[in-house]
Amino acid sequence: MTTNSTTNPDPVFDHRYVAYVFNQRGYHINEFASRLDMSNNVVEAFLRGTVEPGDLRVATLANMANLLGIPLRSMFTRPAPAPDPVGADPQPEPGGNAVAVDAEQLLACVYDTGRATPTLVSELAKAFGWTIERTYAAATEADRRLKPAGLSVKTSHGELFVTPVNEHLDAQKALNARKVYERGLTYNHYRAAYQILAGQQVTVNNSARQRVRTLGGLVNVGVVTQVRQPALTEEALEAFL
């Protein structure tokens, strides 16, 4: 009797995907190895693909997947589209708004106005009754939602924290200090001001017409000299420098 190896191929361990998620999570070899009670050399070899998963206990592989926030099976099957470390497993709640609801719940728990207050992802998952994977998915959506407010949800070393998006918050702080602003300036105004200061191309908004309107708003409040070939006014430069 022959087996149908063409239609049911044996699973292949995806070292590249695991290494990708490892780097995305911000782990260091020694920290990761310590949490798994493994040697640094074994973890390094594992991520390079020179140690096969069959050489490790299933419990160790499960612990590794848990630390990375991915389902164990995704370590043996290449996700599609790849790579997507938080989207390989369907969400446990029905409906297209499940991740959005999770993100709102997560933000209500961890939102902080710019101070770095790390929270263990594993503790958040335990508090919500979620999987680690679901918690990372909620964090990704929460990060997308906070960006327009000038904040970012970071996940690193198994921790989650809210931090400022520095470039335009620096612009806001500088301009506020010198009063070359008015209420009503948005994220895009401050980001555009920072890009002009840094000598970068202004890339805010979705169209050239919208960018002109943003720059026009900065001209009106004395931050930018003109819309075409914009430069910061002397007062704005003093605010930054």
- Other C-beta atoms closer than 10 Å to the C-beta of 234 total 11
The whole-angstrom separation of Cα 134 and Cα 131 is 5
In which band, very low, low, confident or very high, does the pLDDT at 150 lie, cut at 50, 70 and 90? low
Strand partners, 164: 151
43 close to 36: Cβ distance less than 8 angstroms: yes
15-75 CATH: 1.10.260.40
Rounded distance, CA 153 to CA 160, Å?
7
pLDDT reported for residue 143: 85
Q: What's the pLDDT score for residue 1? A: 42
CA distances from 210 to 34, 150, 192, 202 (A): 51, 19, 12, 11
Q: Indicate the pLDDT class of residue 64, thresholds 50, 70 and 90.
A: confident
pLDDT higher than 80, residue 11: no
CA dihedral 11, 56, 156, 86 (to 10 degrees): 20
pLDDT tens digits, 184-224? 788 788 888 888 888 888 888 878 888 899 999 898 888 89
Q: What phi and psi, each to the nearest 5 degrees, are found at residue 18?
A: -60, -45
Question: pLDDT for 221-234, tens place per residue?
Answer: 888 988 888 989 88
Q: Identify the helix (H) or strand (E) that includes residue 120.
A: strand 119-120
- Domain parsing of the chain, residue ranges: 15-75, 98-112+119-149+158-163, 166-240
Average pLDDT on 109-138 reads 80
Query: Is pLDDT of 172 > 80?
Result: no
